[in-house]
Structure formats: structure tokens, C-alpha cells
Amino acid sequence: MRVRGAVLRRMGLPKPYVDSRPLEIVDLELDPPRPGELLVRVGAAGLCHSDLSVIDGSRPRVMPMVLGHEAAGEVVGTGGDTPGFAEGDHVVLSFVPVCGACGPCRAGRAALCEPGAAANAAGSLLSGGRRWSEPGDGHQLHHHLGVSAFADHVVVAANSAVKVDPSLPAEIAALFGCAVLTGVGAAVNSAEVVEGDRVVVFGLGGVGLAALLGAKMAGAAEIVAVDMVEEKLEHARRLGATPIHAGEGVVEAVREATGGGGDKVIETVGNARVLAQAYEATRRGGTTVTVGLPHPEQRLDIQAVSLVTEERTLKGSYLGSCVPDRDIPKFVQAYQDGRLPVQELLTHRITLDEINLGFDRLAAGAAVRQAVIL
């Protein structure tokens, strides 16, 4: 079938993107789903910094690629052999397809699914196949993280989809696919925030604000929020956090606000220098969780001995250490109960044609989550 989607052919084009137009909105050919796959009509798709990092070249991927990885929509076809899914189901798409059978999957660590990671690196679906092609010459295009959210229809592995309550608006449901899964998961699963914790969040984009909401839901006694953008700090303050401006002296300021550092400190910026600050702003015996995705060449510079003598923990968190099937329904329930107000993350609604402008906004720190309404 013919589909309209946003294709990235070349990484590293200059800003502003409204002029260089890295994402081309074009007609694409989408092959029907094969066994184990779903055809999904996308309702809404969110703009995440990980998409921006592919556009600017700091997270290199195989080109050309139909970009986007945070989406929700409705199943409008199946290729058969998709137990549990039928036409009419509403689904959230998750950015790691989970095979359910490999070592990490069997150990409950779906974020580390081995065939899922291999497919994502290859820009294919979990089966190894690709369903996108150029209408003219039939050249195949790559899938982004098994989702390729920026298109009106997509074919995905059923292993990338989680069924949700159809009453959930698509623009809210989409947030659960990346920002909420990653941020709330980082707080609840990776940092294991418990009642009474002093929590610090570095970076207040979609992922960081979701981590803040997750920490609040888990009963944190105090949340300190760090960013360099005034509006983000104000947003965090309205959500009950103590705002602190990033930059010189930030570590001392956080230590002072928390009486010696956070018990759990969550970094969601994607910069090794900020991760070092987050580590230093962690209390003795505390845990630093890193979520941001720095350029692969960056190295981390921290005092090695403090890991030992201060019994600190430094851990990475991919996909919020979530099992999508288990955690998306749990987080949706918390949203529906009013314990997790994820609508706070959504600052803009845009059309597919406005997507380059949307990425300029994200790069400038002028938006949290922007939903492309499809």
C-alpha cells in the first residue's frame, strides 16, 4: 500500500532543519505484514531526542531510514500467527522488539533482548525483513528501532506492540512507547526509588520529566530537578520539584538542596560531563542511573576510588529496564488512576509536514514532547 512517511537519507545536515530539511515527507510503498507482524494505522507519534541524535549524527544508524520510534495506533491487519492481537486492537509500540526466548528475555531483562538488539542495529524488523521501499525503484528503506513511527501506517513485529485500553487518546498512548517507559522505568525499575528517597533528575525533557513523575509516584520525599532552560525548571517546580540551574556550581547546589547529595540520581541528558556531575551529586552509598545516550566517542571521567570507599552504584538504564508487556499496562493504569499525570509531558501537537520545525524546537529546548498527529 501507499503510505506517507518521513525519511532520513543523510545524517548531519546543518541546523536550522526547517531549511536543510533532513526529514523528507514522501510517498512510500509498504508491503503487507508477514506472519508474526501487524499492520498498524498510527494515531500519534512523539519526537524524542534519540531521533534527533540520528538526524544530527550522534547516534549513527543505517540509512536511509523511516524515522521515529514512539507511537500508538490501531491494528488494521495482521499477517497471521499473532496470538493476542486482532484488527481493531489499540496498541503502543515499544522501541525494542522482545523475542521472549533469548537468555536476557528469559531472565526478565527484555531491554537486552539479543535478537531485538540485532534487528534494531540492522534497521530491520525482528524477522530480519524490511517492509518499506521507494515507490519508483523498489529500493528498501530501513526501520527505526522496529517502529518507524513517522508514517500514517507501519508494519511491526507483534513483539514490538502492547495492547492498551482503546479509550486512551493516541497522543497520550504514544508517550508510553518511549518517554514514559524510559523515564518512569528508570525511576521505578533501575533506580528503585522508594518512599522517603531524595531523588535528583538531570535533564527535564520528555524522559527526565517522566523520571520525575515516576519518582513522585514511588513516594520520593524530595525531588531536585536540574536543567538549563528556565521554562523546564518552572515546569518541574509546578510538578513539585526543587529547580536548580545547570552549569557552574551545580554539584554543590544539588548537594546543599539534598543535604549531602541524592540517594538516587537520574541523568537524562546524553552527555558524559553531565553524567560525571550526576555521579558527584550522588550521596555516599547512593545510586546514579544513566539514561542519556552520549555520542559513542565520549568517555566518562569520575573518581574511581569513590565507587569503592563510598559504596556507590552507577548503572545504565535502557528502555527503563522495563518488560513492555508488564510495565506499559502498569504505567497506563497509574495514569488512569491519576497517579502518573503523563499529559504533563505533551507540549505541542504538530502535523507530519511540520516535523523539521519540531526537531528545531526540540534541539533548542523549546518543547518537551511534541506529538505528530497522523
Ligand X SMILES: NC(=O)c1ccc[n+]([C@@H]2O[C@H](COP(=O)([O-])OP(=O)(O)OC[C@H]3O[C@@H](n4cnc5c(N)ncnc54)[C@H](O)[C@@H]3O)[C@@H](O)[C@H]2O)c1
Residue selected from 45, 50, 204, 246 as contacting Zn ion according to rule CB under 5 A: 50
* By the rule CB under 6 A, 207 interacts with ligand X: yes
Write phi, then psi, for 57 (nearest 5 degrees): 90, 0
Question: In angstroms, rounded to a whole number, what is the distance separating the alpha carbons of residues 196 and 121?
Answer: 40
220: partner contacted, choices ligand X, Zn ion, none (Cβ within 5-8 A by kind): none
Quote the least distance from Cβ 106 to ligand X, whole Å.
Answer: 21
CB-CB contact of 175 with 70 (8 Å):
yes
Quote the least distance from Cβ 135 to ligand X, whole Å.
Answer: 31
Residues 278-297 that bind ligand X (CB under 6 A): 291-293
CB-CB contact of 15 with 129 (8 Å):
no
99: partner contacted, choices Zn ion, ligand X, none (Cβ within 5-8 A by kind): Zn ion
* Angle value at C-alpha 147, between 143 and 151, nearest 5 degrees: 85
Cα 305 versus chain centre, distance: 32
* By the rule CB under 6 A, 208 interacts with ligand X: yes
Q: Site size for ligand X, by CB under 6 A?
A: 31
State whether residue 222 is helix, strand or coil.
strand
- Name the residue whose CB lies closest to ligand X: 205
53: partner contacted, choices Zn ion, ligand X, none (Cβ within 5-8 A by kind): ligand X
Q: Site size for Zn ion, by CB under 5 A?
A: 7
Give the residue with the Cβ less far from ligand X, 269 or 352: 269
Question: In angstroms, rounded to a whole number, what is the distance separating the alpha carbons of residues 4 and 352?
Answer: 9
Question: In angstroms, rounded to a whole number, what is the distance separating the alpha carbons of residues 352 and 364?
Answer: 19
Question: In angstroms, rounded to a whole number, what is the distance separating the alpha carbons of residues 336 and 7?
Answer: 35
* By the rule CB under 6 A, 318 interacts with ligand X: yes
* By the rule CB under 6 A, 324 interacts with ligand X: no
* Piece of 35-43, 142-150, 197-205, 212-220 that binds ligand X (CB under 6 A): 197-205
Question: In angstroms, rounded to a whole number, what is the distance separating the alpha carbons of residues 5 and 201?
Answer: 34
**Which residue bears the cell 509546578?**
238
Give the residue with the Cβ less far from ligand X, 28 or 191: 191
* By the rule CB under 6 A, 67 interacts with ligand X: no
Q: Which residues contact 256 (CB under 8 A, 6 or more apart)?
A: none
| Helix or strand run (H / E) with residue 76 | strand 70-78
Residue selected from 42, 93, 105, 269 as contacting Zn ion according to rule CB under 5 A: 105
Residues in touch with ligand X (CB under 6 A): 48-50, 53, 178, 182, 202-208, 226-229, 232, 246, 268-270, 274, 291-293, 317-319, 362, 365
Residues in touch with Zn ion (CB under 5 A): 48, 50, 99, 102, 105, 113, 178
